[in-house]
C-alpha cells in the first residue's frame, strides 16, 4: 500500500510538471502582452523598459525556469492588469466563488436527493415523471441560457432580484462574505440557482436509481415485515444506503462545479475567480492565466489522487495487486 | 431481433417509443431547415444592403420596411431574427458534426489501438485519457480556445480535444472485449496485416456503443460551442452561430428586449434535447442488460 501510494504520488507530480510546461508554453503562444500593457504610441524606451520589467526579454525556457523557481517560493508573479501579486488577487476572489459553488452544490443536494428518492419510490406517478423530465432539461439545456432566462424573468420582468453583482458583504476574519447579509443573499440566489441546475439533475438521477434498486432488496422487505412505516424505511434505511455514492459524487463534482462557475459568474457579473480568468484571457494577463490554470490542475490532480488512494484502501483486489 | 435484417428490426423497435420517434422527427426537420436556410429564410441576414437600422430591435410580429412580417422580431442591426436563427443553426450543426466526426475518428482509433497494442503503450494512452476525463470538458475547451485564438478550426480543435477521450474510453472497452473472442484470434492467425484486422473486423463490432457516444457528443459539442461563443472565445464574428446570437442579445435583455436572446436559445435547446432523446433510445435498445 505505501508503495502504491508513492507510485501514484510520483505520477501526480510528473503530470503536474507536464501540465506546467504545456500551460506556460500555451499561454505564451496566445499573443504579445506588451501590446496590451502599454499604449501603441509609447516611446521605444518606455516599451523596452516595460519588457525588461516583466522579464519578457528573456528566452522562453529562461522565463519558464524563473517561473518554476518563483512557484517553489509560492510566488506566482504580479498581474499585469491589476499590478498586484497574483496569489493575493486570486485569494481575494476565491471566497466569492467558494460561496457560490457551495450554495449551488448544497442546494442541489438538499432538493435533488429527496425528489430523487420520491421518484424512485413511486416511479410511475405523475410527479415523478415531472421530476425526471425536469432532470432531463437540467442535463440538456446550456447553463448560460438558463442564466439569461433567470435574469429576464426575475430581475427584468418581475424585478424581485438583482441581475448581477455580489451586493453587500460582511467581513469575517478578514474575508468578505455575501451570504451573511440579506442584500448579499438576494444577489446570491439567482447565480446559485443557475449553477445548481446541472448538479440538481444529477442528484435526482443518482437518488432515483439507488432507491429503485433498494426498494426491491430484502433489506426493505424485512423492514416492512417488521412493521416499520414507509417514512421510517425511506428516511432511515434508503437514505442511509444511497448516501455513499451521493457523497462520493458530491466530492468529485465540487471540482467541476468550480469550473462551471466560469459561465455563471460571467453572466451574473459575480466577482469570483471564474470571471477573473475570463477577464484575464481577454486582456492577455499571463500570470493570472498561468496561476489559475495551475491551481485548477492541482485541484483536480489532488482530487484524483485522493479518489485513487481511497479506492485502493477500500478495494481488497487493488490492495492485493500492489501488496 | 431477427438475424436477417437487424437494421429494420432496430427501426421497428425504435418506432415503438413515440417520444423518441417525435424527437427523431424534430432532429430531421431541424437538419432539413438548416440545410435549406438560404432557400426558406425570409431574408439573407448577412446581406448588409438589405438591412435598415430603422428596423432594429423590433418585437416579434413587426412588419419591417422589407414589407414582410418579422415573426420573431429583429436584432440590433435590424436583421430578421428568424432568418438569423436558420443561418445560425447551419453553423452550429456544422461545428457539432465536424468536431464530433474528428473526435470519433481520433478517439476510436486511439482506443482500439491501445486495446490491441497492450503493454505500456496501452497503459500510457488510457492513463492520459482517464486523466482528461476527470477534467471538466468545458474548462479544457475554454483553455484551448483561449490559447489557440479565435477561428473556426481553432475552435474545432478545442472541441475535439475536449471530447475525443469519451470515444477513446468507449472504443478501448469494446475493443478489449472483442479482442478476447475466438474470431479475432482466427483472423490474426491468418497472414492479414494487424491494422486491417482491427479496421475490418474489430472496429465494426465496436460500433454500437460508439454510435451512442457519438449522438450524445454531437449534442454536447453544439452546446459547448454555443457556450464558448457566448463567452466570446468561440467563432469569429463572420460566423454567427446560435451562441453568438444569444450573446449579442444579452445586452438588450436588461431593457426587456428578450426575443434577441431567447429565441436563438430556444432553437438551440430544441435541437439538443431532441438529439439527446434519440440518443437515449438508441442506448436503451443497444443495452443488453435491459433486454428480456
Residues from chain A that touch B128, judged by Cβ atoms under 8 A, are: none
Cβ neighbours of residue B51 under 8 Å, at least 6 residues apart? Answer: B77, B78, B79
pLDDT of residue A22: 78
**CA of residue B137 relative to chain centroid, distance:** 14
CA distance, residue A112 to nearest chain B CA (Å): 21
Residues from chain A that touch B256, judged by Cβ atoms under 8 A, are: 156-157
User: What average pLDDT does this structure show over A60-89?
Assistant: 79
pLDDT of residue A323: 47
Question: Which residue of A148, A213, A254, A273 to mutate against B (max B Cβ within 10 Å)?
Answer: A148
Convert the pLDDT of each residue in A272-305 to its tens digit. 888 888 888 777 777 788 888 888 888 888 877 8
Which residue of chain A comes nearest to B228, CA vs CA? A263
pLDDT of residue A141: 82
Work out the pLDDT band at A7, boundaries 50, 70, 90. confident
The CATH number covering residue B230 comes to: 1.10.3720.10
Check residues B155 and A322 and name the one with the higher pLDDT: B155
Which residue of chain A comes nearest to B248, CA vs CA? A148
Domain containing B230 equals 17-51+61-290
Question: Which of B219, B246, B254 comes nearest A156 by C-beta?
Answer: B254
User: What average pLDDT does this structure show over B184-191?
Assistant: 81
Average pLDDT in chain A: 78
pLDDT of residue B183: 83
In a domain, B6, yes or no: no
Average pLDDT in chain B: 80
In a domain, B92, yes or no: yes
**Is there a contact between A179 and A188 (Cβ–Cβ < 8 Å)?**
yes
Question: Which of B131, B230, B268 comes nearest A15 by C-beta?
Answer: B131
Question: Which of B232, B268, B277 comes nearest A145 by C-beta?
Answer: B268
CB contact under 8 A, B276 and A163: no
Convert the pLDDT of each residue in A94-134 to its tens digit. 888 888 888 888 888 888 888 888 888 887 888 888 888 88
In a domain, B123, yes or no: yes
In a domain, B1, yes or no: no
DSSP conformation letters of B50-94: G--GGGTTPPTTEE-TTSSEETT-B-TTS-BHHHHHHHHHHHHHH
In a domain, B191, yes or no: yes
Residues 156-175 of A with CB under 8 A from B: 156-157, 163
pLDDT of residue B56: 66
In a domain, B275, yes or no: yes
Residue A34 has pLDDT above 70, yes or no: no
pLDDT of residue B106: 93
Contact of B134 with chain A, judged by CB distance below 8 Å, is answered with: yes
In a domain, B10, yes or no: no
Work out the pLDDT band at A309, boundaries 50, 70, 90. confident
Question: Which of A263, A281, A289 comes nearest B227 by C-beta?
Answer: A263
Nearest-angstrom CA–CA distance, A102 and A59: 42
CB contact under 8 A, B268 and A26: no
Residues from chain B that touch A300, judged by Cβ atoms under 8 A, are: 134-135
Question: Which of B131, B258, B277 comes nearest A152 by C-beta?
Answer: B258
Which residue of chain B comes nearest to A278, CA vs CA? B231
CB contact under 8 A, B232 and A282: yes
Question: Which of A30, A156, A266 comes nearest B146 by C-beta?
Answer: A30
- Tell me the CB-side half-sphere exposure of residue B190, using CA atoms within 13 A: 11
**Is there a contact between B222 and B234 (Cβ–Cβ < 8 Å)?**
no
Can you tell me the ipTM of this complex?
A: 0.74
What total of structural domains would you count in chain B? 1
CA distance, residue A174 to nearest chain B CA (Å): 30
pLDDT of residue A126: 85
In a domain, B221, yes or no: yes
Place of cell 451574473: A268
pLDDT of residue B70: 65
Nearest C-alpha neighbor of B103 from the set B199, B234, B217: B217
Amino acid at each position: 500500500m505505501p508503495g502504491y501510494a508513492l507510485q501514484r504520488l510520483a505520477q501526480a507530480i510528473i503530470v503536474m510538471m507536464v501540465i506546467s510546461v504545456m500551460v506556460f508554453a500555451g499561454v505564451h503562444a496566445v499573443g504579445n502582452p506588451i501590446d496590451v500593457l502599454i499604449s501603441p504610441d509609447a516611446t521605444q524606451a518606455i516599451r523596452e523598459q516595460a519588457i525588461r520589467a516583466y522579464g519578457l526579454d528573456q528566452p522562453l525556457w529562461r522565463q519558464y525556469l524563473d517561473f518554476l523557481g518563483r512557484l517553489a517560493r509560492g510566488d506566482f508573479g504580479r498581474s499585469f492588469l491589476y499590478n498586484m501579486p497574483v496569489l493575493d488577487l486570486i485569494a481575494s476572489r476565491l471566497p466569492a466563488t467558494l460561496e457560490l459553488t457551495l450554495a449551488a452544490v448544497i442546494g442541489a443536494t438538499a432538493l435533488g436527493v429527496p425528489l430523487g428518492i420520491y421518484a424512485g419510490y413511486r416511479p410511475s406517478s405523475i410527479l415523478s415523471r415531472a421530476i425526471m423530465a425536469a432532470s432531463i432539461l437540467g442535463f440538456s439545456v446550456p447553463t448560460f441560457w438558463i442564466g439569461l432566462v433567470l435574469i429576464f424573468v426575475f430581475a427584468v420582468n418581475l424585478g424581485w432580484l438583482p441581475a448581477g453583482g455580489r451586493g453587500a458583504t460582511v467581513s469575517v476574519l478578514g474575508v468578505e462574505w455575501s451570504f451573511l447579509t440579506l442584500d448579499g443573499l438576494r444577489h446570491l440566489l439567482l447565480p446559485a440557482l443557475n449553477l445548481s441546475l446541472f448538479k440538481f439533475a444529477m442528484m435526482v438521477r443518482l437518488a432515483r436509481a439507488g432507491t429503485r434498486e433498494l426498494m426491491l432488496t430484502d433489506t426493505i422487505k424485512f423492514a416492512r415485515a417488521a412493521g416499520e412505516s414507509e417514512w421510517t424505511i425511506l428516511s432511515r434505511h434508503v437514505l442511509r444506503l444511497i448516501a455513499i455514492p451521493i457523497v462520493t459524487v458530491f466530492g468529485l463534482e465540487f471540482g467541476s462545479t468550480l469550473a462551471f462557475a466560469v459561465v455563471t459568474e460571467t453572466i451574473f457579473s459575480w466577482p469570483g475567480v471564474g470571471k477573473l480568468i475570463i477577464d484575464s484571457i481577454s486582456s492577455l494577463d499571463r500570470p493570472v492565466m498561468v496561476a489559475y490554470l495551475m491551481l485548477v490542475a492541482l485541484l483536480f490532480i489532488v482530487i484524483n489522487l485522493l479518489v485513487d488512494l481511497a479506492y485502493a484502501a477500500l478495494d481488497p483486489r487493488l490492495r492485493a495487486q500492489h501488496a | 431481433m431477427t438475424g436477417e435484417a437487424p437494421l429494420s428490426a432496430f427501426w421497428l423497435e425504435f418506432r415503438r417509443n413515440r417520444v423518441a420517434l417525435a424527437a427523431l422527427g424534430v432532429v430531421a426537420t431541424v437538419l432539413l431547415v438548416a440545410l435549406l436556410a438560404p432557400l426558406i429564410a425570409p431574408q439573407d441576414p448577412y446581406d448588409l444592403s438589405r438591412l435598415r437600422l430603422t428596423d432594429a430591435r423590433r418585437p416579434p410580429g413587426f412588419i419591417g420596411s422589407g414589407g414582410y412580417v418579422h415573426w420573431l422580431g429583429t436584432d440590433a442591426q435590424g436583421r430578421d431574427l428568424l432568418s438569423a436563427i436558420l443561418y445560425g443553426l447551419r453553423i452550429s450543426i456544422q461545428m457539432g458534426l465536424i468536431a464530433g466526426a474528428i473526435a470519433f475518428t481520433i478517439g476510436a482509433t486511439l482506443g482500439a489501438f491501445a486495446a490491441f497494442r497492450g503493454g505500456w503503450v496501452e497503459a500510457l494512452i488510457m492513463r492520459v485519457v482517464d486523466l482528461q476525463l476527470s477534467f471538466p470538458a468545458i474548462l479544457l475547451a475554454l483553455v484551448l480556445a483561449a490559447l489557440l485564438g479565435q477561428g473556426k478550426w481553432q475552435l474545432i480543435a478545442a472541441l475535439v480535444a475536449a471530447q475525443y477521450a469519451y470515444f477513446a474510453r468507449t472504443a478501448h472497452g469494446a475493443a478489449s472485449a472483442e479482442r478476447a473472442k475466438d474470431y479475432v484470434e482466427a483472423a490474426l492467425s491468418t497472414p492479414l496485416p494487424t491494422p486491417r484486422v482491427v479496421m475490418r473486423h474489430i472496429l465494426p463490432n465496436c460500433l454500437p456503443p460508439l454510435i451512442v457516444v457519438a449522438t450524445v457528443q454531437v449534442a454536447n459539442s453544439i452546446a459547448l460551442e454555443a457556450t464558448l461563443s457566448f463567452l466570446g472565445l468561440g467563432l469569429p464574428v463572420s460566423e454567427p452561430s446560435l451562441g453568438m446570437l444569444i450573446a449579442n442579445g444579452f445586452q438588450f435583455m436588461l431593457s426587456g428586449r428578450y426575443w434577441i436572446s431567447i429565441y436563438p436559445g430556444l432553437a438551440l435547446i430544441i435541437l439538443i434535447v431532441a438529439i439527446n432523446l434519440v440518443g437515449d433510445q438508441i442506448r436503451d435498445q443497444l443495452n443488453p442488460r435491459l433486454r428480456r
